[in-house]
Chain A
Amino acid sequence: GAVVSQHPSWVICKSGTSVKIECRSLDFQATTMFWYRQFPKQSLMLMATSNEGSKATYEQGVEKDKFLINHASLTLSTLTVTSAHPEDSSFYICRPGISTDTQYFGPGTRLTVL
């Protein structure tokens, strides 16, 4: 069965609204969660690393005020896209940072901003 779940699997929203994406680690406790973004026909780019109990670290060029990350517990991390715009339309994927060899990715959330 699934090891990592994401909700919702897809979402369509109007420009200017905020969207929350949940990532749950079902079988592992993860102090770290990686969030990736994949634009159409492109590779996965690491956006940020969420850390349970502390602030997330963001990759260069990623706006921390736009992509709010909360790591509420060892099994739940959320990514909120604030004031979404069409250019934020993408596929967002999470992965618990358990080890180098344990590579479980979430199924992804497809966001379309109209």
Chain B
Amino acid sequence: GDSVTQMEGPVTLSEEAFLTINCTYTATGYPSLFWYVQYPGEGLQLLLKATKADDKGSNKGFEATYRKETTSFHLEKGSVQVSDSAVYFCALSDGAGGFKTIFGAGTRLFVKA
């Protein structure tokens, strides 16, 4: 079945450092890919998405490119801030799977001043 694998955390960075969180997926169809962010004690927020190969999703300085050849959707940000500290989830939704969303395990990011 469909699955998402993302790098284990926690990831600890200093402010203004470059961020990469790796995400790879397996899917039977042609899924849409997502990154979600969850701040402490809060619900999920959609950060960005890409719906087809080579699409780049971007939001709030974060970017991720849908790479079909490597089945990857790595999250990047050029300069992180303390306020970016949160848990990041990579996810996919596959029409062949009935539109259900499958989540990766999540990666906790700590950004220190």
Contacts and interface: CB of A to CB of B under 8 A. Distances in A.
Contacts, number: 54
Interface string B28-39: 000110100000
A103 B93 contact: yes
A100 interface: yes
Contacts of B32: 100-101
Looking at chain A's contact residues, the main secondary structure is: loop
Interface residues of B, number: 22
Interface residues of A, number: 21
Nearest to A110: B41
Nearest to A57: B98
A44 B44 contact: yes
B15 to A, nearest CB: 24
Contacts of B105: 42-43
B43 A100 contact: no
B104 A43 contact: yes
A49 interface: yes
Interface stretch (A15-23, A61-69, A76-84, A90-98): A90-98
Interface of A: 32, 34, 41-46, 49, 93, 95, 97-101, 103, 105-108
24 contacts: A34-B100, A34-B101, A41-B108, A43-B103, A43-B104, A43-B105, A44-B89, A44-B101, A44-B103, A46-B102, A49-B98, A49-B100, A93-B44, A97-B99, A100-B31, A100-B32, A100-B93, A101-B49, A101-B93, A103-B49, A103-B93, A105-B43, A105-B44, A106-B43
